[in-house]
C-alpha cells in the first residue's frame, strides 16, 4: 500500500483523536451528590435541596460550566431519596462512592447523617448534612460540614428576642418521637432554662405520622404557655399542629427552629398560622443580591413554585464549587478540601455584601459549618416577614 493511500485514513484517525480530546476537555463533568429525603412528611426539606442544586447547576451549565483550575466542568447532580430511613441513607452514600463522587449534600436528618459517616470516611466523601448532633462535626470527625444554622445556635437568639420584645416568660415544648426533634427539644429546654424562662411542658411527644394533633395538644394548651415550641417539626406537621393549637383556643406565640414552607402553612392552617415564628431562608429580600433574584426566578420557572428554605439550601453547592475553585487539587483529594476550609474566603454571590467562609470554631472547635445568615421570620398572610438577621459564630 502506497503512502498516499495510507495518508487519508491515518489523517482521519489523528483528526478524530484530536477532536475527541478537545471535546473531553470542554465537557468535563463534575458530579455532586445528594442523599436525603424527598418523599413523605419531611419531603420539603430534601426537595428544596435537590431543586436548589439543580437550579444552580442549570444556571452554571447554561453559561458553559464552571472553571476549576485549567478545566471547565459541567455540573451533574446525582440524587438519591433516602426516605428519611438511615438504612437507605447508607445505601445512598454507597451509591455515591461507587460513582466516584467526593462531595455530597445531605442527609437531612440526624440519624441519617450519623449512619452515613463510616461510609463517607472510608470512601473519601465530604458531606454537608442538615443535622445538628455535634459529634458529626467535632474531632475526630472531619468529613461532615453543617449546611445550615443549628437549633442550639438559633434557639438562644429566638427565645431571647421573644423574651425581650414580646414578653415571653413561660414556654412549652412538643416534639415528634424521633431523634432529630427530641435532640432539638432537649437543646431548646436547656436554652430556655439558661434564659430563665419557666418551662411548663418538656416531655410531650407525638408520632411523626400523626394526622390529628388535637389529643396531643389538649393537655399542653391547658397549661397556657406564653410560647409553644414545635421542636424539629416537619413541614407537613407544622400546619396541623398550629391549626389544632389555635382551634383549642391557644392564644400564645408558636415557634420552631426548623425551616418551613409558606405555601404548606397557608394551605394547611391559613390565617391561623399568622404569627408563627421560624428560621427562614438565608437571603431575605432586604439583603439579597441580583444573583439571588435570578436564582429564585429560575427555580420558580423550573419547578412552578419557590420554597423560601432554598435561600439557605442553595449555599452548599456554591460552597463546594467555590472551595474547589480555590484549590483545584481538592477535586479528587478531600484532604486538600479540608485544608482549604480553614483559610477559604470568597465573595458571597447571594447577598449584597458578605463573604463565603467556613465557621464552627465556637460550636465544634473546627471549621465544619458553612456561614449563612441566621434569619428569623414570622408568617403573615401567606408570606414570611423577617424579624431579625444574625450571625452564627
Partner 1 sequence: MEQVIVNGLYLGAQYALIALGLTLIFALMNVLNFAHGQMYVIGGFLVYEIYGRMHWPFVVALFAAAATLAVIGGLLERFLFRTVIRRSLREESTMLLAAGVAYFLDAAILLLFGEKQHGVPKIVRGVFVSDNLIIPYDRVLVACLAILFIVAFVLMMQFTKPGRAMRAMAQDRVAAQLMGVPVEFYSLVGFALGAMLAGLVGGLLVTITGVNSGIGGPISIKAFTMVMIGGAGVVGGAILGGFILGMLESVGLSVLHSYGDITYLAIFVSLLIFLSIRPNGLMGKPWG
Give how far the C-alpha of residue 88 lies from the chain's centroid of Cα atoms, to the nearest Å: 19
Q: 116: helix, coil or strand?
A: helix
The C-alpha atoms of residue 164 and residue 267 are separated, in whole angstroms, by: 31
Question: Closest distance between partner 1 and the C-beta of residue 206, in Å?
Answer: 7
The C-alpha atoms of residue 64 and residue 62 are separated, in whole angstroms, by: 5
Give how far the C-alpha of residue 210 lies from the chain's centroid of Cα atoms, to the nearest Å: 25
* Residue 209 in the binding site for partner 1 (CB under 8 A): yes
Q: Which stretch binds partner 1 (CB under 8 A): 11-19, 37-45, 151-159, 344-352?
A: 37-45
Nearer residue to partner 1 within complex by CB, 275 or 354: 275
Pairing, β 369-370 against β 358-359:
antiparallel
Q: Which of 264, 277, 314, 321 binds partner 1 (CB under 8 A)?
A: 264
* Residue 312 in the binding site for partner 1 (CB under 8 A): no
* Residue 261 in the binding site for partner 1 (CB under 8 A): yes
Question: Closest distance between partner 1 and the C-beta of residue 91, in Å?
Answer: 17
Angle at 80 between CA 78 and CA 85, to 5 degrees: 160
Question: Closest distance between partner 1 and the C-beta of residue 199, in Å?
Answer: 13
Query: Quick one: cell of 203?
Result: 416531655
Q: Which of 62, 70, 212, 342 binds partner 1 (CB under 8 A)?
A: 212
Nearer residue to partner 1 within complex by CB, 109 or 320: 109
Q: Which of 124, 270, 275, 354 binds partner 1 (CB under 8 A)?
A: 270
| CA neighbor of 270 nearest in space, from 247, 249, 294, 302 | 247
Q: 80: helix, coil or strand?
A: strand
CA torsion 180-182-187-191 (nearest 10°) is 130
> Could you tell me if 363 and 369 are in contact, meaning their C-beta atoms sit under 8 angstroms apart?
yes
* Residue 228 in the binding site for partner 1 (CB under 8 A): no
Nearer residue to partner 1 within complex by CB, 43 or 259: 43
Nearer residue to partner 1 within complex by CB, 43 or 330: 43
Q: Which of residues 128-187 bind partner 1 (CB under 8 A)?
A: 177
The C-alpha atoms of residue 107 and residue 157 are separated, in whole angstroms, by: 25
Q: Which of 23, 167, 249, 342 binds partner 1 (CB under 8 A)?
A: 249
Interface residues with partner 1 (CB under 8 A)? 38-41, 43-44, 47, 177, 203-207, 209, 211-212, 214-216, 218-220, 235-237, 239-240, 247-249, 261, 263-264, 267-270
Amino acid at each position: 500500500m502506497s503512502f498516499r493511500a495510507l495518508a487519508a485514513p491515518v489523517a482521519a484517525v489523528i483528526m478524530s483523536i484530536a477532536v475527541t480530546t478537545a471535546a473531553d476537555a470542554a465537557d468535563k463533568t463534575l458530579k455532586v451528590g445528594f442523599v436525603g429525603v424527598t418523599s413523605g412528611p419531611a419531603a420539603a426539606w430534601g426537595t428544596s435541596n435537590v431543586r436548589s442544586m439543580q437550579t444552580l447547576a442549570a444556571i452554571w451549565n447554561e453559561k458553559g460550566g464552571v472553571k476549576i483550575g485549567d478545566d471547565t466542568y459541567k455540573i451533574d447532580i446525582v440524587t438519591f431519596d433516602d426516605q428519611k430511613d438511615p438504612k437507605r441513607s447508607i445505601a445512598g452514600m454507597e451509591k455515591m462512592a461507587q460513582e466516584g463522587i467526593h462531595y455530597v449534600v445531605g442527609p437531612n436528618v440526624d440519624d441519617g447523617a450519623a449512619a452515613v459517616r463510616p461510609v463517607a470516611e472510608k470512601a473519601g466523601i465530604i458531606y454537608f448534612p442538615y443535622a445538628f448532633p455535634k459529634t458529626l462535626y467535632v474531632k475526630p470527625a472531619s468529613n461532615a460540614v453543617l449546611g445550615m444554622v443549628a437549633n442550639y445556635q438559633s434557639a438562644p437568639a429566638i427565645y431571647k428576642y421573644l423574651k425581650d420584645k414580646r414578653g415571653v416568660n413561660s414556654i412549652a415544648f412538643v416534639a415528634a418521637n424521633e431523634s432529630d426533634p427530641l435532640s432539638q427539644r432537649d437543646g431548646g429546654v436547656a436554652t430556655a432554662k439558661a434564659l430563665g424562662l419557666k418551662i411548663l411542658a418538656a416531655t410531650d411527644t407525638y408520632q411523626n405520622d400523626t394526622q390529628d394533633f388535637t389529643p396531643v395538644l389538649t393537655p399542653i394548651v391547658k397549661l397556657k404557655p406564653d410560647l409553644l415550641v414545635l421542636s424539629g417539626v416537619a413541614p407537613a406537621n407544622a400546619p396541623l399542629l398550629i391549626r389544632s393549637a389555635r382551634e383549642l383556643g391557644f392564644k400564645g406565640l408558636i415557634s420552631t427552629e426548623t425551616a418551613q414552607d409558606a405555601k404548606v402553612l397557608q394551605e394547611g392552617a391559613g390565617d391561623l398560622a399568622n404569627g408563627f415564628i421560624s428560621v427562614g431562608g438565608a437571603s431575605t429580600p432586604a439583603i439579597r443580591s441580583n444573583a439571588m433574584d435570578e436564582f429564585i426566578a429560575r427555580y420558580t420557572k423550573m419547578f412552578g413554585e419557590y420554597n423560601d428554605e432554598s435561600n439557605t439550601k442553595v449555599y452548599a453547592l456554591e460552597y463546594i464549587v467555590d472551595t474547589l475553585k480555590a484549590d483545584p487539587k481538592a477535586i479528587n483529594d478531600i484532604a486538600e478540601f479540608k485544608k482549604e476550609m480553614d483559610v477559604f474566603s470568597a465573595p458571597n454571590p447571594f447577598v449584597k455584601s458578605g463573604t463565603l467562609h467556613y465557621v464552627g470554631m465556637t460550636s465544634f472547635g473546627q471549621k465544619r459549618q458553612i456561614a449563612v445568615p441566621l434569619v428569623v421570620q414570622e408568617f403573615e398572610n401567606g408570606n414570611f416577614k423577617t424579624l431579625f438577621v444574625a450571625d452564627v459564630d
